[in-house]
Structure 1
Amino acid sequence: MSRLAGGGPVRPQPVRELTAVSADGSRVHVEVYGPEGAPAVVLAHGWTCSVSFWSEQIRALSADHRVIAYDQRGHGRSPVPAGPSGYSTEALADDLEAVLTTALAPGEKGVVAGHSMGGMTIMAAASRPAFAAHAAAALLCSTGPSRLPAESLVVPMRPGGLRTRLTTAILGARAPLGPVTPVSKKILKYATMGPGSAPDRVEACARIVHACPRKARVGWSHVLAELELGAGVRALSLPTAVLVGTADRLTPPVHSRRLAAELPQCVGLTELAGMGHMTPVEAPEAVTARIRELTGTYLGSGLGVKEDA
């Protein structure tokens, strides 16, 4: 992975930056890369991350795709919600709808890829009109629809109520993350990445995660702890691929296997041996290749990206 002097991954300069306005007035920062008229890809990052998390995919895909990436509310350059009402799966769906209608032309479709909370965003938006109008296919990457604390493997204990409570407390901890240090990188690698992750990739993830505002990190942790998106899974009726690392402790493969079994149009489950939760950073080529397969199959050469084309 290429890196800046500060340790973050390099991505191209966006062709343009947009502001999408969500249903409650929240402003969402959007970046657009690549040539106009090329097949569109929309990227939704996960909890505590930002547009930077997709840097490898943006760099690789923007040569021949129009890549639209946005900062989830409270992350990156999207403002932190003012109060508790700004944190919900409905808000995530509202924001994705706003991004789609702002960045895509009427009738234009793209492939929507979501990592972790980004995948949950796709599930939450599955029955929304704007999602149906603009999504040709989806990628659910390292994610799950429910029972996240109960099935997380971050706490090395037998399954049960105590492990669930400890996991919920750890993920929702209010303590500041502080600077990136060797100790903090070791903790982050254990919790979120595969054992063989390269030091530069651990460093990149740590800097992205530590940059997330504490208020947003805690606010979204409460939403994730109580997540229930089974109805969204059943409503996700477009072709959907699922991808997960076999060493994912945050959203273990049990979630992805369940998604593959319950999705109306699952077009494949990919399990990446030895990879953890941060698959777009840990295995960027594999994630990018899966997105390319989806655009090639469901958007073709770009000549038919609009419904009326």
Structure 2
Amino acid sequence: MSRPLRSGSTRPVSVRELMAVSADGSRLHAEVHGRDGAPAVVLSHGWTCNTSFWDAQIRDLAVDHRVIAYDQRGHGTSPAVGPAGYTTGALADDLEAVLAATLEPEEKAVLVGHSMGGMTIMAAARRAGLREHAAAVLLCSTGSSRLIAESRVVPLRAGAVRTRITRAVLGARAPLGPVTPLSRRILKYATMGAGSAPDRVDTCARIVHACPRVPRVAWGHVLADLDLDEGVRELRVPTAVIAGTEDRLTPPVHARAIAAALPDCLGLTELAGLGHMTPVEAPEAVTAKIRELVTACLPVRETAEVESKEEEVA
């Protein structure tokens, strides 16, 4: 299978790639970056994206962390599945499979989810695999329900007409085609802040346009009827939330509702002027929050073991 379009020629080089096998037999491409034994971070991308969405975080964190990123089913180099394979339960199955394939038993990690990746973590909140491995969670630019009712991508007043059009947009079957100046402008309006740099808009456009049509449409239908409010209430690990104030896809009302419902919320950070693609729009802020969670929530003994090994090598 050919690899998807990437954001550039300088992608971080993984130390290992593997295929995790989900509960229904679906295969998931996963990459491991950084040193064995270093504090672990697991990255779960959003709808229409792939592992390259996290390049900035991987490049920074892999210096002193073990960073695991995977392609959601039907995205990147993870194969598409049959129509019945696109559900929030499948997202949870896939995350459990990746955690089991890349972490040692009982090993803890900071789990980071953007958009549908955050929904993946919410869907897995009651799963044994998540409770075994999650030390803390970072939810970026995501929502748990009422996505089409609250979306501001369609520039109309909230109501039945806007909701109906938004549902149609999420499930649109037309191919996205090549990246063009017009498609970049559309993507920037829908998913990014007005001040986003052209190179970051181009990065997101190339990633989104590389997503195959069938899984894009299938997951669009899932998102239209999403209800993971119970998953938020069951996410009983320390969790931080990040949102862009100008996010049209998942406006800050979602982040505020999630932060209010979480059993152990470490706070909500609203990034002024940013849109939906926060890890690309504000990579330094997102990476800093991940580092903060690692320092605060990963067991001290894991970090101590890494430092001890480094001293032995020296």
Q: TM-score, with normalisation over the residues of structure 1?
A: 0.95
Contact 2:92/2:120 (8 A) holds in 1: yes
**Cα distance, 1:170 vs structure 2:** 1.0
Contact 1:39/1:301 (8 A) holds in 2: no
* SS at 1:14 equivalent: coil
Q: Distance in 1 between matches of 2:304 and 2:192?
A: 35
**Cα distance, 1:208 vs structure 2:** 0.2
Q: Distance in 1 between matches of 2:47 and 2:10?
A: 20
Residue of structure 2 equivalent to 1:99: 98
Contact 1:185/1:203 (8 A) holds in 2: yes
**Cα distance, 1:7 vs structure 2:** 4.9
Shift in CA distance, 31/122, structure 1 to aligned 2, threshold 3 Å: same
Q: Residue 217 in 1 paired to residue 216 in 2? A: yes
Q: Distance in 1 between matches of 2:16 and 2:37?
A: 14
Q: Distance in 2 between matches of 1:305 and 1:144?
A: 36
Q: Distance in 2 between matches of 1:96 and 1:17?
A: 16
Contact 2:144/2:228 (8 A) holds in 1: yes
Residue of structure 2 equivalent to 1:140: 139
Residue of structure 1 equivalent to 2:73: 73
**Cα distance, 1:299 vs structure 2:** 1.2
Q: Residue 63 in 1 paired to residue 63 in 2? A: yes
Contact 2:6/2:207 (8 A) holds in 1: no
* SS at 1:247 equivalent: coil
Structure 1: state its 5+ residue gaps.
none
Q: Distance in 2 between matches of 1:7 and 1:259?
A: 31
Residue of structure 1 equivalent to 2:309: none
Structure 2: state its 5+ residue gaps.
306-314
Shift in CA distance, 180/44, structure 1 to aligned 2, threshold 3 Å: same
Q: Distance in 1 between matches of 2:104 and 2:70?
A: 17
Shift in CA distance, 85/37, structure 1 to aligned 2, threshold 3 Å: same
Q: Distance in 2 between matches of 1:19 and 1:305?
A: 30
**Cα distance, 1:84 vs structure 2:** 1.5
Shift in CA distance, 220/6, structure 1 to aligned 2, threshold 3 Å: closer
Q: TM-score, with normalisation over the residues of structure 2?
A: 0.94
Residue of structure 2 equivalent to 1:48: 48
Q: Distance in 2 between matches of 1:6 and 1:102?
A: 25
* SS at 1:216 equivalent: helix
Contact 2:241/2:269 (8 A) holds in 1: yes
**Cα distance, 1:11 vs structure 2:** 2.8
Q: Residue 26 in 1 paired to residue 17 in 2? A: no
Q: Distance in 2 between matches of 1:9 and 1:291?
A: 25
Q: Distance in 2 between matches of 1:281 and 1:59?
A: 13
Question: What letter corresponds to residue 93 of structure 1 in structure 2?
Answer: A
Contact 2:109/2:136 (8 A) holds in 1: yes
* SS at 2:275 equivalent: coil
* SS at 2:302 equivalent: coil
| Equivalences for residues 273-292 of structure 1 within 5 A | 273-292=272-291
Residue of structure 1 equivalent to 2:311: none
Residue of structure 2 equivalent to 1:208: 207
Q: Distance in 2 between matches of 1:152 and 1:139?
A: 22
**Cα distance, 1:21 vs structure 2:** 0.3
Q: Distance in 2 between matches of 1:89 and 1:197?
A: 31
Q: Distance in 2 between matches of 1:7 and 1:265?
A: 35
Q: Distance in 2 between matches of 1:119 and 1:7?
A: 22
| Equivalences for residues 185-204 of structure 1 within 5 A | 185-204=184-203
* SS at 2:17 equivalent: strand
Q: Distance in 1 between matches of 2:116 and 2:264?
A: 21
Q: How many residues align?
A: 301
**Cα distance, 1:305 vs structure 2:** 9.3
* SS at 2:158 equivalent: coil
Contact 1:251/1:277 (8 A) holds in 2: yes
Q: Distance in 2 between matches of 1:305 and 1:159?
A: 52
